[in-house]
A and B are shown apart, each in its own frame.
Chain A
């Protein structure tokens, strides 16, 4: 089955810093999503991005499908950006296959 790897596993930054999170996947995918889980457990879908680039405020994502990776950029980090960022791709039976996540801590 498809393997999804995220890096780095942990990231600690000062408020205002920029960051790049990476997601590698082992096979072609038609669906790739980025999620943010806040420290209270709420999961929010950030981007549906099987290819190309999208931006939403301080967040943007780029997926290079031919090279099997996706990047999530966070600019001017705020403490509310803290949490775990998951990348998930669609498996053959439409189920999501999740990466292990990147835990981001933004210090004030």
Chain B
């Protein structure tokens, strides 16, 4: 029944060691989002894909990259994680970006940087 799946649920990496987080969806939605959420804060949008069109937020560090090889999958690559990148990473999908397009969230991946 899971509609937005994130793997792994918990990821531990070392300072500076690249890491990839995975998101897949069974909803066949056009839009996929990656959010970063730090403790006691609201989610912060990093970027989103509308189909194959990549949309980066202006304040997303270059250290964060994303790939969407097909409709179902989207990856978040952190090239050189720093201690400040420890957070929950949430993937979401929506049918479109118009009015009334609800976002459906995955369970998140909690990233620890040692």
Bound state CA distance, A90 and B108, in angstroms? 22
Docked-complex contact B103 and A96, CB < 8 angstroms: yes
Docked-complex contact A41 and B99, CB < 8 angstroms: no
Given A31-B100, A94-B97, A94-B98, are A42 and B42 neighbors across the interface (CB < 8 Å)? no
Stretch at the interface among A18-26, A57-65, A69-77, A98-106: A98-106
- Scoring A40, A43, A44, A101 by chain B CB atoms within 10 A of each residue's CB, the highest score goes to A43
- Scoring A44, A50, A96 by chain B CB atoms within 10 A of each residue's CB, the highest score goes to A96
Chain A residue contacts of B57, Cβ below 8 A: 95
Of the residues B37, B41, B45, B102, contact of A48 by C-beta under 8 Å: B102
Residue B88 CB within 8 A of the other chain: yes
Chain A, interface size category, equals: 20 to 34
Of the residues B40, B97, B100, B108, contact of A41 by C-beta under 8 Å: B108
Docked-complex contact A45 and B103, CB < 8 angstroms: yes
Bound state CA distance, A48 and B105, in angstroms? 15
6 smallest beta-carbon distances between A and B, as pairs? A98-B42, A43-B105, A94-B97, A41-B108, A45-B102, A42-B107
Docked-complex contact A31 and B108, CB < 8 angstroms: no
Residue A53 CB within 8 A of the other chain: no
Chain B residue contacts of A103, Cβ below 8 A: 40
Chain A residue contacts of B92, Cβ below 8 A: 43
Docked-complex contact A41 and B104, CB < 8 angstroms: no
Chain B minimum-CB-distance residue to A98: B42
Chain A residue contacts of B41, Cβ below 8 A: 100
Chain B residue contacts of A14, Cβ below 8 A: none
Residue A3 CB within 8 A of the other chain: no
Residue B110 CB within 8 A of the other chain: yes
Chain A minimum-CB-distance residue to B104: A45
